[in-house]
Every structure is written in C-alpha cells, then in structure tokens.
Chains A and B, each alone.
Chain A
Amino acid sequence: MLSDFFKTHEFQMLVDETLRGNACKAVEHFLQNNTPVKRAQLHAIPLVIQADGLAGLTDLIKNQKSKNTKIENKVFWEYMGDVVLTTPGPEFSLRVFLKNQPQVVTLLQDEAGVIDKNEAKKIRKANKVIMDQLLGHVLKIYFEHFNCHYYYLTRQGVSS
C-alpha cells in the first residue's frame, strides 16, 4: 500500500537524501546548459503545489510554456515539463528517478512478461496511478530542494 510506504523510514530517507541529490542534479544540469532565469520564475511553483498538487503544477508549466515571450523563460518551463511531466522523460527527470528507486520498483507491477495487450494496458494504467500519487506526494519537498539549490547557485539576492 502506497500510504504505508509513505510512513516508512526508507521513504523519509529517500526524500531527505536521494531526492535532494536528484533535484540538485536537475538544477545543475539546467544551469550548465541554459541562461539562468530570475528567481521570481520559481516563486509560483511551491504555491501551486500547495494549492493543487501535481494538477496545479501541470497547469502552471503549460501556461508558462505557452505565454512566456522571453526565450530563457520558455526554455526553463520546457525544462520543468521534462522534469515533471514527460513520460518516460529524460534520465534526470523526476519520474525516471522515482521509477528507478528499489523501494518504488516493488510497488509497481511488471508488464514485461505479459503477452495479452489488454492486460499489459491495465498494468500500465495501474502503474501510472501509483506513479502519479507518488509524484504528487514528493513534489513539495522536491521543489524545496530544487528551488533552494537554484537560489544558492545563482545567488541573485532578494530583488530578482
């Protein structure tokens, strides 16, 4: 049961250390290859997650991608889409990271050996539900790690 997993020390360790490492890598990867955006671009992220979880963040990313005229901002929000939304997503994405955690693997059904297409589809659907729930649960802490590491590396002061 996913709710039981969230109560375990293994999960707490995951969010405290491994998730932090992944979030920091995602920040560093972005900054290595792109122009930094002002910190104000990141301010809305924790607010929408608090208000509406993954759905809120999905809307924010889609809106920002479509409305932003500044190239670097557009690039940033496309990157956020890759990190959070794209399935299966690039190597550093949050979804891939979570799916590769040994504790998470045990929560998912394995469709590899399933021949029946309908059965495989059912399994994929069930796994997506679990992954979305898991993602929704770690998003707030993930973006705490992400945003703070971003602010630290870019050190823009208060005004940006």
Chain B
Amino acid sequence: MGTQNIITPETIKAIDLQLETIYETGKSQNLGQRMVKVGLGPSQIRGLETLALSARRFSEIINYIKNQAGKDRKDQWSKIADEVLDHLAQLEKKAKEIGGEDPGVILDVKIRLARGWVKQVVSHYLFQDSLKKDKKHAE
C-alpha cells in the first residue's frame, strides 16, 4: 500500500488531451447552453465551480449535483442532473483508463479532469448567458 503518488508529465498530457477531446466533441458547450436554457443562474453555476475546484474527493461533486437535484423546487437542477452525472461518470471512466492500476493516480486524475471539465462548462455557460442577456436587451 503506497501513500505517495506521482503524476507524470505523460499523465498530465493524457489529462490535457482528454479535456481537449471533451471540448472538441462540444459536450461541455452543450451542457453550458442547457444550463442557461433551464434557467440556472450565474450564482448557481459559480457554486458548482467553487465546489469542483475545492473538492478533495470526486464524489463530493457527484453528491453536490444529487443534492441540488433533490432539493430543486424550480425544476432546474432536476432537469439537468442526469446529464451532469453522466458527464461525471464518463470522466471517472476515463480517469481509470489514464491512471491504470494506481489508485493514487486515478484519484488525482479524476479531480483534475473534473476541474478542467467544470471550467469548460462554466465558460460556455457564461458566454451563452451573456448572449441571452444581449438578445433580451436588444428586444
């Protein structure tokens, strides 16, 4: 049982490649756009971002989404939760491919992927939200 892990430059590269692939597929853009459509506000998205960037466990992010969906009274998080959880499940799967057999590496890769992913989603959300506001002002 080890208590130290080393993220190698090759692992960092694999993480970056994976995040680029996610970006290129448009999945994070689509999710950001959906978040605008269901009516989630910037503070809620920032809440997700803050949580993801400070979480020490990947499952904290999963549980945050589930909790938000569970207490949702405005039919916002509950509309988007399944999709977000699916994204996170895909990240977890990829982390295992990248991390191999080392649990320390897998754990670290999961968190790094989650943080990279949330930054993409939040950026797209903010962009789409600003477009929506511009459109509203123009009307």
Q: Kindly name the residue among B3, B65, B70, B92 whose own CB sees the greatest number of chain A CB atoms within 10 A.
A: B70
How many positions in chain A have a CB within 8 Å of any CB in the partner chain?
29
CB-nearest residue of chain A to B5: A9
User: Interface code A1-24, partner B: CB below 8 Å = 1, 0 otherwise?
Assistant: 000110111101101110010000
* Complex Cα spacing A144 to B58, Å: 13
Dominant SS among interface residues on chain B: helix
Q: Does B47 contact A (CB under 8 A)?
A: no
Q: When the two chains form their complex, are residues B67 and A158 in contact, meaning their CB atoms are under 8 A apart? A: no
Contacts of B106 in A (CB 8 A): 13
Dominant SS among interface residues on chain A: helix
Q: Does B33 contact A (CB under 8 A)?
A: no
Q: When the two chains form their complex, are residues A9 and B73 in contact, meaning their CB atoms are under 8 A apart? A: no
Q: When the two chains form their complex, are residues A152 and B69 in contact, meaning their CB atoms are under 8 A apart? A: yes
* Complex Cα spacing A122 to B34, Å: 59
* Complex Cα spacing A157 to B70, Å: 6
Contacts of B58 in A (CB 8 A): 16
User: Interface code A22-62, partner B: CB below 8 Å = 1, 0 otherwise?
Assistant: 00000000000000000100000000000000000000000
Q: When the two chains form their complex, are residues B69 and A12 in contact, meaning their CB atoms are under 8 A apart? A: no
Q: Does A156 contact B (CB under 8 A)?
A: yes
Q: When the two chains form their complex, are residues B59 and A16 in contact, meaning their CB atoms are under 8 A apart? A: yes
Q: Does A99 contact B (CB under 8 A)?
A: no
* Complex Cα spacing A67 to B63, Å: 30
A17's contact among B59, B60, B72, by CB below 8 Å, is which?
B59
Contacts of B71 in A (CB 8 A): 39, 151, 156-158
User: Interface code A141-160, partner B: CB below 8 Å = 1, 0 otherwise?
Assistant: 10011011111101111110
Q: When the two chains form their complex, are residues B107 and A149 in contact, meaning their CB atoms are under 8 A apart? A: no
* Complex Cα spacing A145 to B61, Å: 11
How far is the CB of A160 from the nearest CB of chain B, in Å? 9
B positions within 8 Å CB-CB of A? 1-3, 5, 57-60, 62-67, 69-73, 78, 81, 92, 102-104, 106-107, 110
